[in-house]
Structure 1
């Protein structure tokens, strides 16, 4: 388990593999972002996308799925997100793309008001199979500090 004290500013990680399917792009769009260029080849052909593209919110969701999977491989004492400071959709994500994620810890600070908790600001970049960045965000995450050692142990 990684705690606040175990994570260093500048620390980077690369992980994930997410294959984007046409069916998933359309299903997500139907439910959450039913704009024509996410649902129809004909409508998408009339836009700068040129073909059906995933919703930016779907791209965020696929990124989150990879982050959660990484958390199972490399557990952290995370307490959830505190927010997104910046979010940019840099390139469209298309069916057939294969995504991956890079992260880098930008800064960290211990909470003054909530002892035992710290926060991390991390740059998260999602890339397609060509190595092109498709999404970048600065995410703030709350994380527990390492529990105090039990000094009575072994007595």
Structure 2
């Protein structure tokens, strides 16, 4: 993908990621290291939780979302967030095949730094049944085209 600078972007522009298949082993490996709660680690015990079965950590879903956003948005300076609002309306489960659909909601050039700006991007992480498992609205720093390049 060709790099996209702030000057190339527009409000309403959409990006769609590739997919990631999630299984119980991935959920447990992540949970052991970063969120060791029984409903992420043990399928039998998880059935007694409010999730009613094994569920991925929300932070695991967020990490997978980040990877898919990075892979689907060719911003030359990277995907550098300055703030974010995350919601997990339903659990991510073993067997889910995830993808991310993102949309640019606003673009604001910096007043003090002419080489960059900010954009607000809303990203929905969906499973293969079309259920939204994560909603993310993030403000991202984005580079402007280097001096001398035509927009």
How does the TM-score come out when normalised to structure 1? 0.89
Distance change (3 Å), C-alpha of 1:102 and 1:4: same
Partner of 1:153: none
| Range with bigger deviation, 32-41 or 8-17 | 8-17
Shift of 1:123: 0.1
Partner of 1:14: 16
Do the aligned partners of 1:120 and 1:143 also contact (CA within 8 Å) in 2? yes
Partner of 1:76: 75
Distance change (3 Å), C-alpha of 1:101 and 1:135: same
Do the aligned partners of 1:79 and 1:144 also contact (CA within 8 Å) in 2? no
DSSP 3-state at the match of 2:17: strand
DSSP 3-state at the match of 1:139: strand
Unaligned 5+ runs, structure 1: 151-155
Unaligned 5+ runs, structure 2: none
DSSP 3-state at the match of 2:145: coil
Do the aligned partners of 2:15 and 2:72 also contact (CA within 8 Å) in 1? no
Shift of 1:15: 2.0
Do the aligned partners of 2:121 and 2:138 also contact (CA within 8 Å) in 1? yes
Partner of 1:111: 110
Distance 2:109 2:78 in 1: 14
Shift of 1:78: 3.1
Shift of 1:79: 4.4
Q: Deviations over 1:50-105 (max 9, x none)?
A: 1111000000011111112224xxx2223442333311001100111000110010
Number of residues of Structure 1 aligned to a counterpart in Structure 2: 147
Q: 1:3 aligns with which of 2, 5, 17?
A: 5
| Aligned CA-pair RMSD | 1.4
Distance 1:108 1:115 in 2: 14
